[in-house]
Structure 1
Amino acid sequence: MAQRLNFAGRKVLVTGGARGIGLELSRQLIDQGASVLAVGSNKGHLDNLAIAFPGKVHTFAADLGEPRGATSIAEWVQEQHPDCSVLINNAAIMRHDDLTAGTEGQEELIAHEIAINLIAPLQLCATLLPMLAGAPGGGAIANISSGLALAPIPDASVYCGTKAGLSNFTRSFRDQCRARNLPVQVTDVIMTLVDTTLSKPGSAKKYPPAQAAADVLAGLAAGRQEIWVEKTKLLRLIFRISPAAAYGLMRGH
């Protein structure tokens, strides 16, 4: 049986922790007795979060798309918050582009999206692992991937590719931690379509951010290796039966 994770008294690093799902994660973690290290690129949003929860939130503004974005965050955590024991890689961007159109500056836009969605989470996992493994009671890592890692949509190919990469990395990284008997829970969170600014407006029903965050934290607390959120549970079943049907379903959206 997986060991349950109690957030009370823990310090948790949440990337993208002041908007969308990340904001709800921060709020609910605080409600459960944790201290939150919220990072993001918008200092105004971070300041608002710190004002709302005085003494319970520490903030750090950094752009994960920049070459030293993840490094600067890791250095801040290691130097000022070495008691951090949980990492939630939540930050992401989604560009809705047709890569066949030859958009000006396309190479830079692709590189920036990959840096935020894939490179930075991998770097934070590897760099902070020794600290997380040395935490009393062990540590935990949650990487927020997506159902689009299984069945991509046509107009967000870079995003879908990065989430597939993050999901596969999480599985492999978990195996590496196990091989060394490191006391770190490594979890892949397969996220559904959530009502945030990440996705385009449309008629599709979107999951509430507060409920998505609650599902993530409940799954982590239960020690789950994978957390399938809302409709991704059905997508998983469809994909097992017929990958083509799952692809077709997502293209229909």
Structure 2
Amino acid sequence: MRLEGKRIVVTGASRGIGRALTEQLAGRGATVLAVARDPSALAGDRIVPVSCDLADMAARQSLIAQLIGDLVPIDGLINNAGIQLQASYLDTPCDPACDIDREIAINLAAPLHLSAALAPHLASRPEAILLNVTSGLALTPKASAPVYCATKAGLRSFTTALRYQAEDRAPNLRVGEIVMALVDTEMTTGRGRGKLSADQAAQAVIAGIERQERGDIWVGNTRLLRIIQRLSPALAARMLRNG
């Protein structure tokens, strides 16, 4: 996909991978509708800050109405926003409902909601993308973040099914995953080694978008993980279990 002149929606745009994606897409000549709870720090000639709390269904509905009602159509959606909460449910009695609800709302309900609502609009464009950011943990989970892993596995399944629909009815719409490696962001502070920078991750994503290939974008060492998981699921599980 040629990015110059395209209008791309990026969620979670105010920091980390989302911010790097926003800035690099704008640098390629795209106009970025940068969605975040507080997008006030975002600035640029091709960056349009859009405020939305993606955990809130009513806020998502307002965002969708705004995007669809805009006189200028959009050519892409990158569902990047996500949170990861560490949880050990066997340690002490607790009521985890609020944390679980919020993690599911941001990581799973929001990208499903935006994807389903905007897919017909994107399918009407001559060339469009709908990409959902998942993780290597969508293939096999780790012990310390059960809900996060479940949401990424669910998003992976949804994206595959939606891609099947697009292949049959809208071949001009590329639907796929961005399978993200471990990236040095606030969410990963204090854990993991060999992290990519947010800029490196964004560069890999944009390179994948600009290639005329369909399907998923595997970032960093997730390409190797994909091979290991196919050859030896048990080995992949051991590698990520305590990540």
| TM tier, smaller | over 0.9
Match 1:64 to one of 32, 42, 54: 54
Alignment check: 8 A CA contact 1:82 1:131 kept: no
Aligned position for 1:195: 184
> CA RMSD for the aligned pairs?
1.5
Residue deviations 1:38-58 (CA, integer Å, cap 9, x gap): 0111x2xx22212xx1x3111
Residue deviations 1:211-242 (CA, integer Å, cap 9, x gap): 10111111111133111111111111111111
Letter in 1 for 2:223: K
Do the aligned partners of residues 103 and 180 (structure 1) sit closer, same or farther apart at CA in structure 2, a change above 3 Å counting? farther
Q: Distance in 1 between matches of 2:215 and 2:35?
A: 24
Match 2:25 to one of 23, 26, 29: 29
Aligned position for 2:10: 14
Alignment check: 8 A CA contact 2:144 2:242 kept: no
Structure 1 vs Structure 2: percent identity of aligned residues?
A: 38
Q: Distance in 1 between matches of 2:225 and 2:215?
A: 18
Give 4+ residue runs of structure 1 displaced > 4 Å after superposition: none
**How far 1:200 sits from its partner (Å)?**
3.9
**How far 1:182 sits from its partner (Å)?**
4.7
**How far 1:23 sits from its partner (Å)?**
0.4
Q: Distance in 2 between matches of 1:177 and 1:198?
A: 32
In structure 1, runs of 5+ residues without a counterpart are none
State whether structure 2 residue 236 is matched by structure 1 residue 246: yes
Match 1:216 to one of 205, 208, 215: 205
Letter in 2 for 1:47: S
Q: Distance in 2 between matches of 1:20 and 1:7?
A: 21
Q: Distance in 2 between matches of 1:81 and 1:221?
A: 26
Q: Distance in 1 between matches of 2:202 and 2:130?
A: 15
Alignment check: 8 A CA contact 2:123 2:170 kept: no
SS in 2 for 1:188: strand
**How far 1:82 sits from its partner (Å)?**
4.1
Q: Distance in 2 between matches of 1:221 and 1:229?
A: 14
Match 1:48 to one of 38, 41, 49: 41
Do the aligned partners of residues 242 and 10 (structure 1) sit closer, same or farther apart at CA in structure 2, a change above 3 Å counting? same
TM superposition score normalised by structure 1: 0.91
State whether structure 2 residue 196 is matched by structure 1 residue 207: yes
Q: Distance in 2 between matches of 1:212 and 1:78?
A: 29
Alignment check: 8 A CA contact 2:201 2:219 kept: yes
Q: Distance in 2 between matches of 1:81 and 1:159?
A: 36
Do the aligned partners of residues 60 and 102 (structure 1) sit closer, same or farther apart at CA in structure 2, a change above 3 Å counting? farther
| 166-175 or 215-224, which deviates more | 215-224
Q: Distance in 2 between matches of 1:65 and 1:203?
A: 27
In structure 2, runs of 5+ residues without a counterpart are none
Alignment check: 8 A CA contact 2:182 2:192 kept: no
Q: Distance in 2 between matches of 1:122 and 1:102?
A: 33
Do the aligned partners of residues 25 and 81 (structure 1) sit closer, same or farther apart at CA in structure 2, a change above 3 Å counting? farther
Q: Distance in 2 between matches of 1:181 and 1:79?
A: 21
